[in-house]
Amino acid sequence: MGVYMDIVQIVFPLILVGGIIIFVIKRLDRKNKAGVFAKKSSQNAQVLLDSLIPLGMIFGSAASLVLSIIFPFPILSSISIGAAVGLLAGYFAYQSYGRTNEVSKQKVLLKKMI
């Protein structure tokens, strides 16, 4: 039974991280093919929008490092899982921050139509 638990502890983080990465890459690939990447009007806002995903990965790795110091998790597994969770959080932040500009443009267009 101990051998199976060791195998699960090794394989589970790989499957989890791989699934998150494939999800984010496929979603970004669909946006690229459709040509609907979010654009911001100012350069500073665009730089922030473009760096949300890498910042999420950095903060996820840092948070997982702190948690692995406090709790008895293996450091290498927790850093990779933290980076994947940060990638996912950065992607969702990218989606929501990029959408605010689109929603405001749609409201302006609706007001012009009325």
pLDDT digits (tens, 9 = 90+) for 33-65: 988 888 888 889 889 988 999 999 999 999 999
User: Does residue 98 surpass a pLDDT of 80?
Assistant: yes
pLDDT digits (tens, 9 = 90+) for 99-111: 765 555 555 555 6
Q: Could you give the C-alpha distances from 101 to 39, 94, 97, 106, in angstroms and in order?
A: 8, 12, 8, 9
State the Cα–Cα distance between residues 72 and 77, nearest whole angstrom: 11
Residue 83, Cβ neighbours under 10 Å: how many? 21
CB 85 within 8 A of CB 67: no
**DSSP characters for 50-106?**
HTHHHHHHHHHHHHHHHHHHHS---HHHHHHHHHHHHHHHHHHHHHHHHHHHHHHHH
User: Could you tell me how many residues make up the chain?
Assistant: 114
Residue 65, Cβ neighbours under 10 Å: how many? 13
